[in-house]
Amino acid sequence: MLTGKRILLIIGGGIAAYKSLDLARRLMERGATVRGVLTAGGQEFITPLSVASLTGDQCYTDLFSLKDEAEMGHIRLSREADLILIAPATADLMAKMVAGLANDLATTILLASDKPVMVAPAMNAQMWAHPATKRNMATLKKDGVSFIEPGSGMLACGEVGPGRLAEVPDMVEAVIDFFHADIQPLTGKHIVVTAGPTHEPIDPVRYIANRSSGTQGFAIAGALASLGAKVTLVAGPVALETPVGVNRIDVETALEMQGAVEAALPADVAVCVAAVADWRADCDHGQKLKKSKGGLPDLKLTENPDILAGLSKHIEKRPTLVVGFAAETENVIDYAAAKRERKGCDIIVANDVSHATGIMGGHENEVHIISDKGVESWPKLSKTEVAVKLALKIAEYLGK
């Protein structure tokens, strides 16, 4: 299962370090090559000799080893692996990773590496539950580090709760799953995502817009790309970084967004997250409209194109799956279900964006997935978590 895979196993401090010896052996039984790096804390529980004996390779411990560092050993170790696995990972080691410290061999390897990292934490239950640890884990996940969640039970300190290192078979399975995920479920699929608001000019200094930040749409584009999709992100005017692996096209108005979406077709999936302005000024005044004693200016509005409906009813290039978003402030599910029927899309993702929810422009979302199968309500999650779940749902839909 792991033939030819090179794993660098970093062993942190804690009584759970003894499990790392069995972990190395089990990974090697499945064909992997394992190299061991033992921290100072880890050496309090197991020895470099035991690690070297099991892996059949030198166990690395010293950042300032004259022999190894003459060849820039920490750089070589950081690059000659397909996966860096930290088991056990202490709260201290996770905090150092977040801070970008490099004061020993393990942290220097991690900072110098361009390889994927998987972390199996182990610590006291209170340490695991501490807000600082939770913040650190969230930051590491955002940086692309994957986690093997700890188990619950009797801990070495005598307390009972979560924080014990995952069992060896579970860690082996997580590593196997990681490498099997090389072939991503959306590889070969082209997905168009719209995100952010549109700005509809009234005159050179004024425009019609809404409060969309684009955060949810950008997160969805990134999640889809991480599953192997070729993603074209058509973005309204927002100040957000382009997700890794995503082709971004910046637009300002609804007409520009419609044109960019049409140009991006054909696509397997369209995900219309953008909060497109429903109306625009009938004409773009070349000069700033001035106040006058005559009252309000004569501002006429005209309807913008319906990008979601256009994709759903596209005769020549309709995507296999069209996903729309419905931002409502009341009767959320009823209005969203009616919108799905009216637009002709396959799925509507509905959310309550009334001011009290803090969703519009915030970092969390609570959505309802409405399709021909009914309504699936998700609890409040971060927008990143919503994006990941939706990307997996899209992959599942295409798989069927």
Does this model's pTM top 0.75? no
State the Cα–Cα distance between residues 108 and 103, nearest whole angstrom: 7
Same structural domain for residues 161 and 202?
no
pLDDT over threshold 80, residue 311 = yes
pLDDT at residue 399, as a whole number: 85
Torsion of CA 386, 165, 57, 38, to 10 degrees: 100
- Give a yes or no: residue 378 inside a domain: yes
Amino acid residing at 64: F
Position 15 in a domain: yes
Q: What is the mean pLDDT of residues 350-357?
A: 81
DSSP assignment of 178-192: HHHTTS-TTTT-EEE
Mean pLDDT of 310-337: 94
Q: Give the tokens for residue 13.
A: 């401090």
Q: Indicate whether 129 and 249 sit together in one domain.
A: no
Structure confidence at residue 314 as a pLDDT band (50, 70, 90): very high
Residue 366 domain flag: yes
Q: Which residues pair with 70 in a beta bridge?
A: none
Residue 112 belongs to some domain of the structure: yes
Which SS3 state, helix, strand or coil, does residue 33 take? strand
**∠ Cα 228 234 235 (to 5°):** 115
**Omega into 48 within 30° of 0, i.e. cis?**
no
- Residue 197 CA to residue 325 CA, distance in Å, equals 13
Q: Is there a single domain that holds both residue 29 and residue 104?
A: yes
Q: Are residues 61 and 69 in contact, defined by beta-carbon separation less than 8 angstroms?
A: no
Range of the domain at 209: 190-399
CATH number of 269's domain = 3.40.50.10300
* Cα gap 86→255, rounded to integer Å: 50
Please report, for residues 51, 131, 147, 156, 240, the alpha-carbon distance to residue 123 in angstroms, rounded to integers and kept in the order given: 22, 14, 14, 9, 36
Q: Are residues 173 and 208 in the same domain?
A: no
Q: For the chain, what is the largest distance between any 2 Cα atoms, rounded to a whole number of angstroms? A: 91
pLDDT digits (tens, 9 = 90+) for 5-24: 999 999 999 899 999 999 99
* Residue finishing a domain among 180, 213, 235: 180
pLDDT 10s digits, 50-87: 999 999 999 999 887 656 554 546 678 888 899 999 99
Phi then psi dihedrals of residue 279, to 5 deg:
-130, 160
- Mean pLDDT in the chain? 90
Q: Which two tokens stand for residue 389?
A: 């779940």
Let me know: does 74 contact 111? Beta carbons within 8 Å.
no
Same domain, 71 and 218: no
pLDDT per position as a tens digit, 253-307: 999 999 999 999 999 999 999 999 999 988 767 788 887 766 777 788 999 999 9
Residues with catalytic roles: 157
Regarding whether 74 and 126 lie in a shared domain, the answer is: yes
Does residue 297 have a cis bond before it (omega within 30 degrees)? no
Same domain for 124 and 102: yes
Share of the chain above pLDDT 90, in %: 69
Q: How many CA atoms lie within 13 A of 21 on its CB side?
A: 16
The total number of structural domains that make up the chain: 2
Binding residues for CTP: 278, 288, 305-308, 325, 339, 343
The owner of tokens 């990307």 is 391
> Do residues 133 and 80 both lie within one domain?
yes
* 185 inside domain: no
Q: Are residues 176 and 289 in the same domain?
A: no
Domain finish residue from 138, 161, 180: 180
Is 65 in the same domain as 211? Answer: no
Angle formed at CA 178 by CA 387 and CA 270, multiple of 5 degrees:
30
- Per-residue confidence (pLDDT) for residue 74, from 0 to 100: 65
Give the helix ranges, DSSP H, for the chain.
17-29, 48-55, 66-69, 73-79, 91-99, 105-112, 125-129, 131-142, 168-180, 215-226, 254-264, 307-312, 332-343, 383-399
Rounded Cα distance, 276 and 241, in Å: 20
pLDDT of residue 207: 92
CA 236, CA 92: separation in Å to the nearest integer?
41
Of 316 and 177, more confident = 316
The answer to whether residue 1 is domain-embedded is no
Assess whether 211 and 169 both reside in one domain: no
For residues 162 and 264, membership in a common domain is answered with no
Does 212 reside within a domain?
yes
In a domain, 90, yes or no: yes
Q: Choose the final residue of a domain: 156, 180, 204.
A: 180
Q: Collapse the DSSP code of 341 into the 3-class scheme (helix H, G, I; strand E, B; otherwise coil) and give the result.
A: helix
pLDDT bin (cut points 50, 70, 90) of residue 111 is very high
Question: Do the Cβ atoms of 134 and 95 come closer than 8 Å?
Answer: no
- For position 57, which CATH number holds? 3.40.50.1950
Do residues 200 and 159 touch, judged by C-beta distance below 8 A? no
